[in-house]
Structure 1
Amino acid sequence: MDNAISSALHFETMVWPWPIAIYLFLAGVSAGAVLIGIAVKLYRESRGQIGYESGIVKGMALIAPIAVIIGLAILIIDLTKPLEFWKMMIYWNPSSVMFWGVMLLSVYIMVLFLFLAAVFYTPLMAIDRRYPIVGTVLALLKRFEKPMQTSMIFLAIAVGAYTGFLLSALKAFPIFNNPVLPILFLVSGASSGAAATMLFGMLCFKEKADSQDIHFVHKIEKPVLMTEIFLLFAFFLGLVFAGGVSAEAARVALMGDFWSYIFWGGVVFCGMVLPWLLQWFSPRSLTHKPGFVAALCVLSLSGVFALRHFILYAGQMTAI
């Protein structure tokens, strides 16, 4: 068993190891949390409620910046020369996927903090009593909240899709050069963002498991999950129809040893089938319990986490 796991984690064609999978997961969670948080904010505002008072929106404010910063830190540390990372921002290389990723994430993080300051304008104004300049800056940011909100939607979509485009830099692996991959990573990122905002909203900000905001996120989750299943099917079907090395890559990934178990057991069963079965067949008295909702969130996050590792490792097992 140990030899099987070792051979699954270390093989001749492997270029990028597990830290990249964690980065891809965290960046997707951040982007997904922003999309879900903004959706809940707009939902509350349409009903005459204050957006930032929602535990989901507060969860987004906590998760989105922390997840992307930790993910970026992991990516930098994994580089051959992490202390020279800053050179990518000074010496431009438009032909590099990594360069565009650094630029995108830099803008994303900057606009995210400005947007959060505008969203939480009212509670942050308490600082104005001691530092009046802060109030002036916050008032200016508040004026541009809607344009920043629109920008954050596009930036979150770009970051979510970029996690798939990043893998296309390894051109020798057919799984990574599948056009469905960026969309699949974007949609699965939205799924993980929904789970993360609900989980942290309940744990850190006392959001009720049967609140209207949680119900709204559940309504978003269902079509997102169906889209994710369709994209996974299209992803592997495209590889099979391409034939040759691409078809072999799909066979190794889905019917091999260790990573095929991760896919069918971790991604499909734990991340998709089991949460669906629990929601549909559990009594209503149980589905509104915080522990039940938290368990569903953990299962969903585990499935997306497994998907990132599966794609990264299984994708590198078959080269052109």
Structure 2
Amino acid sequence: MVWGTIIAAYLFLAGLSAGAFLTSSYAARKYPEAVTIRIVGRIISPVLMGIGLLLLIVDAEAGLKDPLRFIYLFTNFSSVMTIGTYFISFFMMAAAFIALMEILKKEINKIVEYVGIFFAVATAIYTGFLIGVIGAVPLWNTAILPILFVVSAFSTGIAGTMLTSAFIDKKVVHHVMSLKKIHVSLLIAEVFLIFTMFVITSSSNESAAQSVAMLLSGEYSVLFWTGLILVGLLVPIVIESLELYNSRQLHRRAGMEVAAAGSPGFTAIVITESAVLAGGFILRYLLLAAAVPVIFL
């Protein structure tokens, strides 16, 4: 494995943090009455990013022994890592400021929020480019990877925000149907992007074909098919699609209150959103674990 579990966790938490921020911003505009979702997304965002950065520092043992290595991250402008460091720094500052304003119950500065949205998207994209620019690993070196990571970031961000919100207010998560529609669309898009990436990369060279084979039928196939595809994607797609269908039917017959009453229970929400989060981590772990570099002779 080129990079380990800690890096997979960092990539996962960075994307989740960005997705939670974007989820809260969307909810604030589309559903101003869904206060819990807005506040939860804005508070967990900088917390998750902070945990991810701590993991990154712990993993960079040489950086702990040589602090100048971290300073170099801010000065080497030819490096994708330097650009990403600035993206994350600006996003972290905006997200932390907005979270503080929420805690203090003060009005959010719109300019700061727009800055946060911009750098949240940039951070989600960066998590894909961070490994995507490594040409020696064909599985990563594809334009689809940053798109996949952005889709997964927003998807896990929705899941993390909805899961946490459900523990605070079990009803509010049933009144954001357009957010659920977006979530299902993202999960379906994720399945499409994964297999499209596999088809394209596996035909590029032998190393890429080996990586894809390890995931589809080799060493990591059980985790891929069961953990990522079945549990992380298909189960949430089915459950949330059924919820949307039942909600639509109940709306037609009896209105909002009955529709909310007919929504799936708390346990179903916990299972669905937890499955999405597990799938998001497994996706990043597998992409790192199955990386087969090109051997130059």
Range with bigger deviation, 193-202 or 225-234: 225-234
Equivalent-residue separation in structure 2 for 1:85 and 1:34 (angstroms) = 30
**Cα distance change on mapping 1:34 and 1:85 into 2, 3 Å:** farther
- Look up the match of 1:9: none
Q: How many residues align?
A: 278
- Look up the match of 2:91: 108
Aligned-partner residue type, residue 273 of structure 2: C
**Cα distance change on mapping 1:222 and 1:87 into 2, 3 Å:** same
Residues 88-107 of structure 1: pairs in structure 2 closer than 5 A: 88-89=70-71, 92-107=75-90
Gaps of 5+ in 1: 1-13, 126-137
Equivalent-residue separation in structure 1 for 2:241 and 2:184 (angstroms) = 12
Asked whether the equivalents of residues 199 and 297 of structure 1 are also in contact (C-alpha less than 8 Å), the reply is: yes
| Alignment of 1:268 onto 2:250 | no
Equivalent-residue separation in structure 1 for 2:100 and 2:126 (angstroms) = 25
Residues 213-232 of structure 1: pairs in structure 2 closer than 5 A: 213=176, 215-232=177-194
Asked whether the equivalents of residues 174 and 263 of structure 2 are also in contact (C-alpha less than 8 Å), the reply is: no
* 3-state SS, counterpart of residue 290 of structure 2: helix
| Alignment of 1:206 onto 2:187 | no
| Alignment of 1:253 onto 2:215 | yes
Asked whether the equivalents of residues 46 and 92 of structure 2 are also in contact (C-alpha less than 8 Å), the reply is: yes
Deviation at 1:61, TM superposition (A): 2.2
- Look up the match of 1:75: 56
- Look up the match of 1:23: 10
Residues 1-320 of structure 1: pairs in structure 2 closer than 5 A: 14-45=1-32, 49=33, 54-83=35-64, 84-85=66-67, 87-89=69-71, 92-118=75-101, 120=102, 124=104, 142=108, 145-203=109-167, 205-208=168-171, 211-213=174-176, 215-257=177-219, 259-280=220-241, 287-315=263-291, 317-320=292-295
Asked whether the equivalents of residues 88 and 99 of structure 1 are also in contact (C-alpha less than 8 Å), the reply is: no
Identity value in percent: 31
Normalised by the size of structure 2, how large is the TM-score?
0.85
Equivalent-residue separation in structure 2 for 1:115 and 1:211 (angstroms) = 25
Aligned-partner residue type, residue 234 of structure 1: T
Equivalent-residue separation in structure 1 for 2:241 and 2:62 (angstroms) = 50
Asked whether the equivalents of residues 266 and 306 of structure 1 are also in contact (C-alpha less than 8 Å), the reply is: yes
Equivalent-residue separation in structure 2 for 1:227 and 1:95 (angstroms) = 32
Asked whether the equivalents of residues 98 and 113 of structure 2 are also in contact (C-alpha less than 8 Å), the reply is: yes
* 3-state SS, counterpart of residue 140 of structure 2: helix
Deviation at 1:318, TM superposition (A): 4.5
Equivalent-residue separation in structure 2 for 1:103 and 1:66 (angstroms) = 18
- Look up the match of 1:129: none
Deviation at 1:207, TM superposition (A): 4.4
* 3-state SS, counterpart of residue 288 of structure 1: coil
Equivalent-residue separation in structure 2 for 1:61 and 1:117 (angstroms) = 9
Aligned-partner residue type, residue 92 of structure 1: T
* 3-state SS, counterpart of residue 171 of structure 2: coil
Deviation at 1:197, TM superposition (A): 0.2
Equivalent-residue separation in structure 2 for 1:155 and 1:70 (angstroms) = 18
Aligned-partner residue type, residue 71 of structure 2: M
**Cα distance change on mapping 1:279 and 1:212 into 2, 3 Å:** closer
Range with bigger deviation, 283-292 or 100-109: 283-292
Range with bigger deviation, 281-290 or 99-108: 281-290
Asked whether the equivalents of residues 209 and 289 of structure 1 are also in contact (C-alpha less than 8 Å), the reply is: no
* 3-state SS, counterpart of residue 242 of structure 1: coil
Equivalent-residue separation in structure 2 for 1:183 and 1:174 (angstroms) = 16
Equivalent-residue separation in structure 2 for 1:67 and 1:319 (angstroms) = 34
